[in-house]
Structure 1
Amino acid sequence: MEQVQELERDVWQIDPVPVHQTLTAVKNGGLVLGAFDGDELVGFNYGFAGFQNGQVYLCSHMMGIAKAYRGRGIGELLKQKQKELAFKQGYSLIKWTYDPLESLNAYLNLSKLRGIGAEYIENCYGEMNDALNKGLPSDRFQVHWHITSEHVHSASSWIDQFPLQDNNVLVHYQLKSGQLPQLSDHISLEKITDMVINEEAGKLHERFSPQGYWLPIPDNFQTLKKQDYALALDWRLKTRKIITHMLALGYVAVRLLKTDQGVHYYLFVPQHRLAL
């Protein structure tokens, strides 16, 4: 637990969670997992028992990887071990939050782990002063990871083959000077609603007909924020507006598609079409 504290300081430059808190959480349904290189802790995952609307779940609160060890798949290994141990403890659902504009986290959480972006929390933690979050509203996607579901355990599905086409992109983007992507100012929630409802109505008789929509986000939000803070805020506020609207229409985020065009794309599909 003390090694976890040191890694917290290194990753976020913040005061760490007290040992008495993490230790008590572990003794009451929580999990703290460590990834080690020899005796050195290079990654950790911390979660505690959660309860909401009559349902028990594991709330996975923090995961951090030492800078020199990032990009090696350690985060995915920690999550898979967390899933294994959580199942043994009797959990069927794990929840956690992440910044919806952080594409690396989105790719891990949705495309690799097959969690779903099911809730959007505006300014979740208020003003944050750590290196990654300082200066912007701390909006968060809440991931629901249904660890016993067919959606999580199926090798592939129609979601993995869903095409990116011009007519199923919710809002388009253009490149500003300096080749930074900017989301279009022409965002019409009414148009999005009409598009979604009309397609759903046309496919009521096709029970298994694929249906989904794509939303671009910057491929590297931290770099964009350093180069153009106003543009980063613009992305935050516009995507907040669109994502909350899609969730209200019964859609959830299920995948992040990587491209080499300066943006990656979220895929939103109707939640009722998922085997959860």
Structure 2
Amino acid sequence: MAEPIIIKPLTTIEELEQVQELERDVWQMDPVPVHQTLTAVKNGGLVLGAFDGDKLVGFNYGFAGFKDDEVYLCSHMMGIAHAYRRQGIGELLKQKQKEMALQQGYSLIKWTYDPLESLNAYLNLSKLRAIGAEYVENCYGEMNDALNKGLPSDRFQVHWHIASEYVNGETVWIDQLPLRDDHVLVQYQLRSDQLPQLSDHISLEKMTTTASDYDGQAKLDHHSDKQGFWLPIPDNFQTLKKQDHALALDWRLKTRKIITHMLALGYVAVRLLKTDQGVHYYLFVPQHRLAL
């Protein structure tokens, strides 16, 4: 029987040098200097490692953040060795991060991810119950690593309220919301090559009216089946980008427009629903309905 993956904090120079090697393997980029990660660990930050025996196969790096009179842990990087992906190691790292952050006095963790990466979205929203609360256009400028090269580096900033009822309690009403065609924010179709393409017909005015009307209904009836809006994204954005770069850019720009509009209305992304139709769906609900 294989040994279980062990998650533990990393605090020594030697351990943080192992993180650098994993960074190079994951992103083919220059790693974060050890003097930076070591200083972060000594000043409210947290670096966690996932070990298969003595081998480091995953890590998570975060440092102390502060904005608008609010202190939080800024979870900056998480990487998993290629041979160990899709084995739940990312979730193990995040749950350990939550545990240790609570011990250190944090109640909020923030990080960013590409909103078109469905694996990250499913982990962050559906499994961990973080919320997609902010959208940053071209967050890191032009990036040349394999995952990001050639597209604006747009990012969802997620807020993980680790001490909240929303994260730690029941969310049955959210998990039971049905995918309704009349609450899908934009339609898509599968092309002849089976790649999904969004419609060009996006009416923000209609979305504003619909969302505003709907929000009023939601406040009156907490058990209504009209509590969410849905947005499709590709089920595998990296594959789509490799096959048709122009189509990937089209997805980036159209979803950027829709997501920023929904956030401005007071909605946040709370789940990713998986389908076998070439797309998965974000679920947006009014933020005021969440026990944060």
TM value normalised by structure 2? 0.93
CA distance in 1, matches of 2:228, 2:40: 39
> Match for 2:27 among 12, 26, 40?
12
Equivalent positions of 1:1-276 (< 5 A) are: 1-207=16-222, 209=224, 211-276=227-292
Amino acid at match of 1:258: K
Cα distance in 1 for partners of 2:85, 2:184 equals: 31
Secondary structure of the residue aligned to 1:266 is strand
Which ranges of structure 1 fall in alignment gaps of 5 or more residues? none
Aligned residues with identical type, % of pairs: 83
Q: Alpha carbons of 1:18 and 1:68: their partners in 2 closer, same or farther (altered >3 Å)?
A: same
- Quote the offset at 1:201 in angstroms: 2.8
Q: CA deviation at 1:203?
A: 4.3
Q: Cα deviations across residues 138-185 of structure 1 (Å, max 9, x unaligned)?
A: 000000000001110124421111100111111110011201000110
Q: In structure 2, give the amino acid aligned to 1:245.
A: H
AA paired with 2:85?
Answer: R
Q: Root-mean-square deviation (CA), in Å? A: 1.0
Deviation per CA, 1:19-61, whole angstroms, max 9, x where unpaired?
A: 0000000000000000001111000000000000001000000
Do the aligned partners of 2:215 and 2:286 also contact (CA within 8 Å) in 1? no
Give unpaired runs (5+ residues) of structure 2.
1-15
SS of the aligned residue for 2:146 comes to coil
Task: Letter of the 1:224 partner, please give it.
Answer: L
Post-superposition Cα deviations, 1:179-238, rounded to whole Å, max 9, x if no partner, equal: 100011000000111111122234443255451100000000000000000000000000
CA distance in 1, matches of 2:167, 2:218: 25
Q: TM-score, normalised by structure 1?
A: 0.98
Q: Give 3-state SS (helix, strand or coil) of 2:148's partner.
A: coil
Which amino acid in structure 1 is aligned with residue 64 of structure 2?
A
2:32 match: secondary structure: coil
Rounded to whole Å, the distance in 2 between the matches of 1:103 and 1:207 is 28
Q: Which amino acid aligns with 2:41?
A: V
